[in-house]
Amino acid sequence: MGKVKAFSISAEAIAAERKRVNDELDQVDIARVVALDTIELPDPGPSDVRMRVLAVSAEHNVDHAALADTVNIAELRGGKIYPGNSALGEVVEVGANVTRFKAGDIVITHCNGEPDAFGYPMRIWAYDQPESIGWYAQEAVLGEWQLIPAPLDCGLNLWEMAALPLRAPTAYHLWRRGLGIFRIKVPRERLATLNVLGFGGGVSELFLMLAKSEGHNAFFCSGNAERRAALEKHGITGIDQQAFNRFASRDDVKGFSKQVKKLTGGVGMHVVCDMLRGPVFNAGLQAAAREGVNVSAGWQLDKSIQYDSAGASVKQLTLDHTHLDTIFGCNAATELYGKVFKPTVHKEIYAFEDLPRAMHEMHQNTQTGIPIIRVAKDMPESVKGLVPA
């Protein structure tokens, strides 16, 4: 069908960068690993759609792929992957059997690569799903089943919508599971209003927006003052993570726990959105109320954790690891665009060729919101009014 520009991550580039920094991963320059490449796209099959990519969001799974900090997925996939599993685009061609979309439709993607018997993903598209080609590209060919109509009338601008295809279903799934598990232990008639805590970035922001929309007390712990201020406009209380040195010592964790108790009348947090690993893990456990639930998505920083399971048992804590939602869940999360989900977008909208820099700055945690990359220079008429001036 022809070649298009697309970003890739190669095992060779990973090895070269890790050698340059003597395997000190905090010194890795992601922009040296994510490279602009070309790829030959296949012709669309009967159930396929060809999509012109308009905008994408930088995602943390690309960070993991470039660092090879959990697994060297590029090596496992044969030496190279084409990342990108969150995109907003325009349909330009459909196969003969496609019924849900037509040329000109604006769509978003989900990254469910291989659903299990109940619809939950066993693999993620453009990451560990074999032969999958991602959407950090000018164009893509993908199955009709991988697309969701973009809710252009939801009240969000184009960049805000582009921030959500991966993050919104993740937050939606985390909240439903965290709340559901807590309600098994403590029914609503015993405790109607919960204290809910989220650490860090975009998924936590959306998770807390869901909690707040349902009448709960929501708290956002982040070292980024601009992101805390953005969440406070939604009635979500900010906690400065830097005030506790990102929980570098036991005293820092104790100080954070004391602050949480002060904010919650001595109760603690009933549901915590956590990485369940790394520096915030112990802080999340300490912040939890009795019968609390800590939910997590992803592999950030490590694949393994250690904790005092006896202490968690006595406290009736539950730790729950999740992956992306089902395709039905992804569609349901999309219904909340603009109503509940109002993401914080980084002030710079990156050009397509600047995607590696966007990934590196996300790795450095210097952005003021979710990073968006504008792929298409010329936008279709149907969305021109949604592009901020």
Q: Does 143 fall in a domain?
A: yes
Say if residues 109 and 165 touch (Cβ distance below 8 Å): yes
What pLDDT, on the 0 to 100 scale, is given for residue 302?
63
What pLDDT, on the 0 to 100 scale, is given for residue 389?
82
Judgement on whether residues 138 and 200 belong to the same structural domain of the protein: no
Judgement on whether residues 374 and 265 belong to the same structural domain of the protein: no
Q: Does 187 fall in a domain?
A: yes
Say if residues 224 and 202 touch (Cβ distance below 8 Å): no
What pLDDT, on the 0 to 100 scale, is given for residue 61?
84
Judgement on whether residues 156 and 176 belong to the same structural domain of the protein: no
Write the pLDDT tens digit of every residue in 58-80. 988 888 888 887 789 999 999 99
Judgement on whether residues 48 and 117 belong to the same structural domain of the protein: yes
Mean pLDDT of the chain: 93
Backbone angles phi, psi at 274, to 5 degrees: -135, 165
As for how many domains the chain has, the answer is 2
pLDDT surpassing 60 at residue 299: no
pLDDT surpassing 80 at residue 280: no
Domain region containing 34: 3-166+326-384
Q: Does 7 fall in a domain?
A: yes
Q: Which of 307, 322, 337 represents a domain boundary (last residue)?
A: 322
The domain that contains 150 carries what CATH number? 3.90.180.10
Neighbours of 178 (CB within 10 A): 28
Name the band, by pLDDT with cuts 50, 70 and 90, for residue 265: very high
Write the pLDDT tens digit of every residue in 92-108. 999 999 999 999 999 99
Alpha-carbon distance 210 to 204, whole Å?
A: 10
What pLDDT, on the 0 to 100 scale, is given for residue 304?
73
- Characterise 186 by phi-psi region: left (phi > 0), alpha (psi -120 to 50), beta (else): beta
What pLDDT, on the 0 to 100 scale, is given for residue 191?
98
What pLDDT, on the 0 to 100 scale, is given for residue 381?
97
Q: Does 150 fall in a domain?
A: yes
Name the band, by pLDDT with cuts 50, 70 and 90, for residue 277: low
Alpha-carbon distance 29 to 32, whole Å?
A: 6
pLDDT surpassing 70 at residue 21: yes
- Could you give the angle at which helices 202-213 and 225-232 cross, rounded to 10 degrees? 20
Q: Find the distance separating the first CA and the last CA of the chain, reported in whole Å.
A: 35
What pLDDT, on the 0 to 100 scale, is given for residue 1?
63
Q: Does 35 fall in a domain?
A: yes
Write the pLDDT tens digit of every residue in 231-247. 999 999 999 999 999 89
pLDDT surpassing 60 at residue 300: no
Q: Which of 305, 322, 339 represents a domain boundary (last residue)?
A: 322
What are the residue ranges of helices labelled H in 264-325? 280-287, 309-314
Judgement on whether residues 179 and 48 belong to the same structural domain of the protein: no
Judgement on whether residues 316 and 336 belong to the same structural domain of the protein: no
Q: Does 389 fall in a domain?
A: no
318 vs 301, higher pLDDT: 318
In the chain, DSSP assigns E strands to 3-10, 34-40, 48-57, 80-81, 87-94, 106-109, 112-115, 121-124, 139-143, 147-149, 195-199, 217-222, 237-240, 269-274, 288-297, 318-322, 345-351, 370-374
Alpha-carbon distance 350 to 55, whole Å?
A: 10
Judgement on whether residues 202 and 351 belong to the same structural domain of the protein: no
Q: Which of 279, 295, 322 represents a domain boundary (last residue)?
A: 322
Alpha-carbon distance 30 to 52, whole Å?
A: 26
In 230-315, DSSP assigns E strands to 237-240, 269-274, 288-297
Judgement on whether residues 296 and 281 belong to the same structural domain of the protein: yes
> Closest Cα partner for 297 from 271, 330, 273?
273
Judgement on whether residues 150 and 53 belong to the same structural domain of the protein: yes
Say if residues 161 and 149 touch (Cβ distance below 8 Å): no
Alpha-carbon distance 192 to 183, whole Å?
A: 10
Say if residues 301 and 275 touch (Cβ distance below 8 Å): yes
Q: Does 267 fall in a domain?
A: yes
Q: Does 291 fall in a domain?
A: yes
247 vs 52, higher pLDDT: 52
